[in-house]
Amino acid sequence: MHPWILGYWRKAFFSSKPQTSGTTHVMFCFVDHYEPQWLNKDNIELERERVDRWFNDYPKMAEKFTDADGCHPKHSFFFPEEEYREEHLNKLSDLCARGFGEIEIHLHHENDTSDNLRMVLSNFAQTLHEKHGALATDPVTGKPVYAFIHGNWALDNSHPKGHWCGVNDELIVLKETGCYVDMTFPSPDSTQPSLTNCFYYAKDDPNKPKSYNTGKLMYKNGSASGDMLIMQGPMGFNREAFKFGILPKIERADIRDNMRPSPARIDNWVDKHIHVEGQPNWIFIKIHTHGAQDVDMPALLGEPIEAMHRHLNEKYNDGEQYKLHYVSAREMYNIAKAAEAGEQGEPNDYRDFILKKPAFKRM
């Protein structure tokens, strides 16, 4: 049994659903483990085709939809350090400069050390910022800061066999190098924390793996604690898919061609009601994908994703019961921090609450 399931069921059966009044604001964030070299590390032409597909087709899709604030869908490209090519980031930066998303950091590593990880993350953040105008900056130090997704979900050396990381103090290293939030989860395996469907602060034990397994919930009129803010996407059970025709499959907010975003799945994400404790009228949905995989691009850039946005706008953007807000990873963090600070009203007012929008470079 997955270690998170017991806590999930306990919360489902013994916790009352948050009571809301007035308009419920739905923050919708799409994060992407964006890997142009997927299974083809020596084929630059294929990489270019994949990046060009997004560069050309994403605006055509996104321009068809707007949220309550007049924003188009925003795609957060978590780009892997080990796959960096300047030409790819130039195109993504241009896309982001036109308002279609933002760029953050993704990383796959194995048998790593704290010192090497610190160097890699710091150098990559500086490269993205200096060459492409990507990443927000710390309002005090002026240094680039970033949101993070760990490759293969093995954050803080959490794989049971020690694969795909090697650094037990990874949360500390991330904090030291400018990471303001981790958005790795939910995960498809035992790397998943025991806490689900929430935002919380984790304290790192530098001598042990998976220190993020538990933590302190983010709450209204609270403050930051520990070493890393963990912002998760919705997790539970898919009411439309069954294993062996009996057991419902696990819902991990993953969008692919064989896991399309049906209306029932979308309603399930909303129903998970992920929010900052004490501010139930602002709910957050973070879904994810691997957008550079060829088999999935027709679903991510075509009719299936358009159907998702139609449902979001038709059901969750009537202006009275619900208002929809398309947000980047940075904006979702800012709005959550505003809720933590006790702010209320329109979430749109807090998209740049702490971290301002990067000045992405056009081609």
Using the CB atoms, write b or e for 323-348: b if 16+ within 10 Å. Answer: bbbbbbbbbbbbbbbbbbeebeeebb
- The encoded tokens of residue 208 equal 């042990």
Query: Looking at the domain that runs over 22-350, which CATH code has it been given?
Result: 3.20.20.370
pLDDT of res. 223: 97
pLDDT of res. 241: 66
pLDDT of res. 246: 65
Write down the pTM of the prediction. 0.97
What are the DSSP calls for 209-271, one per residue?
S-GGGS-EEPBTT----SSEEEEPPP-EEEEEEEETTTEEEEE--B-BTTB---HHHHHHHHH
Q: Where are the domains of the chain?
A: 22-350
pLDDT of res. 248: 77
pLDDT of res. 245: 60
pLDDT of res. 17: 79
Cβ contacts of 248-251, under 8 Å, gap ≥ 24: 250/2, 250/188
- List average pLDDT for each run of 10 residues in the chain, which is 363 residues long: 76 79 97 97 95 98 98 98 98 98 98 98 98 98 98 97 97 98 96 96 98 97 98 90 70 96 96 96 98 98 98 98 99 99 97 98 96
